[in-house]
């Protein structure tokens, strides 16, 4: 193909237009007058505020949003908008119910995958819970000690018996225990929570020195020596992978919940409520729905709470009852009790009656302050 140079007159294509040479400018000895620049205040005064315009557009675009569940657009203060699909949902229409307005990004159930992750292997489960290896000799030694305790108690004189804390009884089948721990590991992993079997004190939050049971308003009951031994025994069993017969299941209405995988007797120790310890004043606007009171002080600035949003255990998934519904109150089968242990506050979850296999665990979220909104609970 032939090429042509546009700068060459001989090679330029034919055109009906004739080029005319522009007349040369006459030199001028006078410089042009300087241009008057407008001040920033004058420019801003005539400009249209973009923020107000965007707000008006947002109000117009969301004025007709209705709840996807009930179809009503009433109750704007309780209507949540998904940050991904822009659909609206009333807090009380969601399952599980959203008690507080979330802070930051919020996604509906369809846009957020809240289902448990895939089943974990045995090696990953053991590593997740940091289970210690033990020998059969240790088991026989502890069994003989328990037998001696039972024999000793039978030989004592009959008198008014105090209701003692009972140690947990794990499932006998090791594979069943592994499957139970796997459900908890899957639920914690799905929520991005690491397992913790105790209270965590993180820099920037409340220090351990702030957790003093003597600061409790009205005093705090002290865990007796015998129950303390039972607690230590259960904690040792937890570290060996011998947990209570419980599984974490996902319910479309209640979310994650805990179900008994075997019989549990009344007054059996279930778990200690664990997580990060922080001052209540730092968590007043927190949208975590599992915050537990640890220390209720006369001075509000010294009140402590447990926050299981980054670290936690199975106690985080035990649901609460509806305090305003007599039928729902009958579902309660365990309770949380705050004890003074070695001068520090601790929260223990204990069974309040015999629990059958397949029964779900519930307790009263308003055991102390009666401030948690439970009127929308199932």
The model's pLDDT over 325-368, given as tens digits with 9 standing for 90+, comes to 777 778 899 998 999 999 999 999 999 999 999 999 998 876 65
Q: Domain for residue 332, yes or no?
A: yes
Q: Domain for residue 2, yes or no?
A: no
Q: pTM score, two decimals?
A: 0.66
Which of 113, 143, 178 finishes a domain? Answer: 113
Q: Domain for residue 240, yes or no?
A: yes
What is the per-residue pLDDT for 209? 96
What is the per-residue pLDDT for 176? 93
Q: Point out which residues pair with 336 in neighbouring strands.
A: 349
Q: Domain for residue 368, yes or no?
A: no
Which of 80, 113, 146 finishes a domain? Answer: 113
What is the per-residue pLDDT for 167? 94
- Contact indicator for 87, 108 with CB cutoff of 8 Å: yes
Which range in 40-54, 90-104, 225-239, 318-332 is most confidently predicted, on average pLDDT? 225-239
Span 137-165, average pLDDT: 50
CATH number at residue 76: 3.30.40.10
d(CA 314, CA 129): 12
Residue 170 has pLDDT above 70, yes or no: yes
What is the per-residue pLDDT for 372? 55
What is the per-residue pLDDT for 334? 94
Same-domain pairing of 182 and 261: yes
Task: Encode pLDDT of 183-227 as tens digits.
Answer: 999 999 988 899 998 999 999 999 999 999 999 999 899 999 999
Same-domain pairing of 92 and 208: no
Two tokens, residue 44 = 């801003």
d(CA 169, CA 162): 21
Exposed, middle or buried, 306 (CB in 10 Å: 0-12/13-18/19+)? buried
Q: Which residue has the higher pLDDT, 157 or 215?
A: 215
CATH number at residue 201: 2.170.270.10
Within 11-97, residue ranges assigned H as helices are 40-46, 50-62
What is the per-residue pLDDT for 184? 93
Same-domain pairing of 97 and 239: no
Same-domain pairing of 230 and 303: yes
What is the per-residue pLDDT for 166? 94
What is the per-residue pLDDT for 265? 95
Rounded to the nearest 5 percent, the helix, strand and coil shares of the chain are: 25, 20, 55
User: Could you give the C-alpha distances from 323 to 254, 332, 346, 355, in angstroms and in order?
Assistant: 16, 10, 24, 20
Same-domain pairing of 187 and 93: no
| % of the chain beyond a pLDDT of 70 | 69
Same-domain pairing of 174 and 103: no
User: Could you give the C-alpha distances from 166 to 177, 232, 273, 309, 332, in angstroms and in order?
Assistant: 19, 12, 17, 29, 19
Q: Domain for residue 323, yes or no?
A: yes
Count structural domains, the chain.
2
Count the helices and strands in the chain (H runs, E runs).
Answer: 7, 15
Number of residues assigned to the chain: 378
Q: Domain for residue 38, yes or no?
A: no
Of 10-14, 112-116, 129-133, 269-273, the poorest mean pLDDT is in 10-14
Q: Domain for residue 367, yes or no?
A: no
Q: Tell me, what DSSP letter sits at residue 224?
A: P
Same-domain pairing of 90 and 175: no
Assign 84 a pLDDT band (cuts: 50, 70, 90). Answer: confident
User: Please, what is the average pLDDT of the chain?
Assistant: 78
Residue 255 has pLDDT above 90, yes or no: no
Task: Encode pLDDT of 19-35 as tens digits.
Answer: 444 455 555 556 666 66
Same-domain pairing of 173 and 104: no
Same-domain pairing of 105 and 244: no
Q: Domain for residue 54, yes or no?
A: no
**Between vectors from CA 290 to CA 285 and to CA 293, what angle results, nearest 5°?**
80
Same-domain pairing of 201 and 331: yes
Note down the domain range covering 88. Answer: 63-113
Same-domain pairing of 242 and 105: no
Q: Which residue has the higher pLDDT, 52 or 80?
A: 80
What is the per-residue pLDDT for 115? 52
Of 18-22, 37-41, 53-57, 96-100, the poorest mean pLDDT is in 18-22
Same-domain pairing of 108 and 176: no
What is the per-residue pLDDT for 10? 43
d(CA 279, CA 273): 16
């Amino acid at each position: 193909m032939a090429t042509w140079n546009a700068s060459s007159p001989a090679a330029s294509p034919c055109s009906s237009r004739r080029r005319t040479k522009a007349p040369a400018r006459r030199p001028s000895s006078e410089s042009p007058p300087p241009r008057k620049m407008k001040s920033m205040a004058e420019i801003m005064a005539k400009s249209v505020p973009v923020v107000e315009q965007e707000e008006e557009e947002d109000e117009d675009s969301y004025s007709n949003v209705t709840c996807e569940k009930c179809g009503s657009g009433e109750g704007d203060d309780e209507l949540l908008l998904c940050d991904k699909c822009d659909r609206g949902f009333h807090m009380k229409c969601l399952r599980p119910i959203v008690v507080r307005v979330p802070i930051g990004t919020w996604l509906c159930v369809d846009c957020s995958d809240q289902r448990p992750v895939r089943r974990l292997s045995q090696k990953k489960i053991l590593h997740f819970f940091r289970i210690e290896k033990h020998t059969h000799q240790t088991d026989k030694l502890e069994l003989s000690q328990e037998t001696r305790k039972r024999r000793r108690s039978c030989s004592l004189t009959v008198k008014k018996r105090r209701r003692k804390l009972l140690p947990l009884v794990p499932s006998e089948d090791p594979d069943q225990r592994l499957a139970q721990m796997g459900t908890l590991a899957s639920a914690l992993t799905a929520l991005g929570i690491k397992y913790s079997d105790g209270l965590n004190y993180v820099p920037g939050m409340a220090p351990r020195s702030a957790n003093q049971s003597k600061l409790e308003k009205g005093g705090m009951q002290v865990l007796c020596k015998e129950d303390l031994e039972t607690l230590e025994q259960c904690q040792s069993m937890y570290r060996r992978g011998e947990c209570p017969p419980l599984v974490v299941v996902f319910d479309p209405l209640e979310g994650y919940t805990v179900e008994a995988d075997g019989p549990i007797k009344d007054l059996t120790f279930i778990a200690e409520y664990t997580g990060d310890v922080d001052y209540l004043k730092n968590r007043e606007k927190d949208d975590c729905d599992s915050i537990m009171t640890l220390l209720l002080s006369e001075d509000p600035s010294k009140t402590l709470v447990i926050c299981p949003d980054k670290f936690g255990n199975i106690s985080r998934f035990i649901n609460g009852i509806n305090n305003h519904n007599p039928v729902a109150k009958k579902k309660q089968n365990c309770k949380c009790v705050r004890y003074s242990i070695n001068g520090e506050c601790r929260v223990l979850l204990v069974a309040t009656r015999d629990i059958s296999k397949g029964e779900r665990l519930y307790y009263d979220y308003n055991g102390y302050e009666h401030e948690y909104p439970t009127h929308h609970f199932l």
